[in-house]
Amino acid sequence: MNGVLRVHSALYIKSGGLIGHRILGVPCLILETTGRRSGLVRPHPLVYLRDGSDYILVASNGGSDADPTWLLNIKADPAVELRVGRTRLKGRARIVDQSDANFTRWWSLVNEKNRGRYDTYQARTKRPIPLVVVSVTP
């Protein structure tokens, strides 16, 4: 699957967002984080949910017991950039766990959008999978 995601990300970026906004029938964006050790910009293709001006992402890592690297990068530096289709947006990310009042609603909506995959991923791991809310900055 990593190879597929690399190709998807490369097509999305090289086409300027013309190709790749939808994959497997779900909307995807490219989250760009700054590597916490390298300092390099890292692209990550992710399914998203739009809630007002915020973008909701799921740090599932395919149900792995380890957090995805992009989540670790956000913990170190919450300034991110999004590529949504042909649009580029700067934003600030915050990690949301199950104690947040909106968590259940957001999880349900993004899980439905991703055809139940996130419930499957959560069942694979004991790690509570967090959400990430990216608030767009002007």
The residue extents of the domains of the chain are: 2-136
Which pLDDT does position 138 carry in this prediction? 78
Which pLDDT does position 16 carry in this prediction? 87
Q: What is the CATH number of domain 2-136?
A: 2.30.110.10
Q: Spell out the residues 6+ positions from residue 92 whose beta carbon is closer than 8 angstroms to its own.
A: 78, 79, 80, 134, 135, 137
pLDDT exceeds 70 at position 1: no
pTM for this prediction: 0.91
Q: What is the pLDDT of residues 16-53, one digit of tens each?
A: 888 888 877 789 999 999 999 999 999 999 999 999 99
**Percentage of the chain modeled with pLDDT above 90:** 82
Q: 7 vs 46, which has greater pLDDT?
A: 46
- Alpha carbon separation from 111 to 58, 66, 99, 126, 131 (Å, rounded): 9, 20, 18, 18, 11
Which pLDDT does position 8 carry in this prediction? 82
Per-residue pLDDT averaged across 99-124, rounded?
A: 96
41 and 88 Cβ atoms separated by less than 8 Å: no
Per-residue pLDDT averaged across 92-116, rounded?
A: 96
